[in-house]
Amino acid sequence: MLGLLHDKLLSATLLVLNLLAPVDVHVDANRAYAAGDGHRADIYRPNGMGPSPVMVFLYGGGWRNGSKEDVAYVGAALARRGFVVVIPEYRHFPAVSLSDILTDNAAAVAWTIGHASEFGGDPRRVVVAGHSSGAWAAAMLGLDATWLERAGSRPADLAGIVGLAGPYASSALTDPLDKQVFSGADPAMQPINHAGGRHPALLLLTGAEDRDVRPSGTVALADRLEAGADHPETHIYPGLGHGAIVRSLSFPFSLQATTADDIAQFVAGAHAGP
């Protein structure tokens, strides 16, 4: 009974936060980043003068679910911290393949880099962030140049990558439906298999209590990068589960962990190029 009450209270709180998202920020909804009705993005802009750092935020949902409206509270919370936040919609598995999902996300990122100055953003300070399957996509775009190059950009154009609770290796997944997404998939679809060569700075965040995507996947990617003389910044937050880590970006959940502060500090020092 207490668990049900907690879930209802949590859902109600997120609903209110999403409804209040436009307060104190400017929202440009449903901007087209590519052809097709499903290729739209919401842009959250801070008050005040730019140019501001830009974050493309890729929502999670096990590759199969989710929407940009579900994380409106994230866009608003980060905009209040001074970021321009672009949250794109994209297609889902199994209607499309993992390659199609990456193609959509790469198109959104390339579009953001090309149009950042139009909405007060700094095109040399574009960071791609994501939660869960969105963190998988963010890492793939940063570590495997294939996707952004096809979209007319490149990883070197990014200031950084931020992953929250990312399944960088399929072995970190615990949900059978999530595992099924990678059944028979090319190993190249796992970010950990691209942990080499030049890439943007990485910030890897996970919760110690994550039961959906084991923290061991984040640790494994960080270790692989460290072995190659890269030094990703990694944080494991005590007490946070899979959903709690993305909720912690917004008040009142931000009282649980320093997630938002750590991201802001990372972005403050991130710039594209040499």
Query: 3-state SS string over the chain?
Result: CHHHHHHHHHHHHHHHHHHCCCCCCEEEEEEECCCCCCCEEEEEECCCCCCEEEEEEECCCCCCCCCHHHHHHHHHHHHCCCCEEEEECCCCCCCCCHHHHHHHHHHHHHHHHHHHHHHCEEEEEEEEEEECHHHHHHHHHHHCCHHHHHCCCCHHHCCEEEEECCCCCHHHECCHHHHHHCCCCCHHHCHHHHCCCCCCEEEEEEECCCCCECHHHHHHHHHHHHHCCCCCEEEEECCCCHHHHHHCCCCCHHHHCCHHHHHHHHHHCCCCCC
In tens, the pLDDT along 124-163 reads 999 999 999 999 999 999 999 999 999 999 999 999 999 9
Nearest to 151 by CA among 56, 27, 34: 34
Nearest CA to 84 out of 21, 142, 40, 25 is that of 25
pLDDT of 196 reads 84
Query: ∠ CA(39), CA(177), CA(6), 5° rounding?
Result: 85
Q: What pLDDT, on the 0 to 100 scale, is given for residue 148?
A: 98
How do strand 201-207 and strand 160-164 relate by DSSP bridges?
Answer: parallel
| Phi then psi dihedrals of residue 53, to 5 deg | -60, 150
Residues 255, 187: Cα–Cα separation, whole Å: 38
**Domains of the chain and CATH, by start:** 25-268 (3.40.50.1820)
Express each pLDDT in 153-203 by its tens digit: 999 999 999 999 999 999 999 999 999 999 999 999 999 999 988 899 999
Query: What is the amino acid identity at position 172?
Result: A
pLDDT score at 273: 66
Residues of the chain below pLDDT 70: 1-11, 14-18, 20-22, 229, 273-274
3-state SS assignment for residue 273: coil
Encoded amino acid at 145, one letter: A
C-alpha atoms less than 13 angstroms from C-alpha of 97 in its C-beta half-sphere? 8
In angstroms, the CA 192 to CA 49 distance is 39
In 116-167, which ranges are continuous DSSP H helix? 133-143, 146-150
- Please calculate the CA angle 261-263-264 and round it to the nearest 5 degrees: 65
On whether the CB atoms of residues 128 and 169 are closer than 8 A, the answer is: no
Tokens 């399957």 belong to residue:
133
Q: pTM for this one? A: 0.93
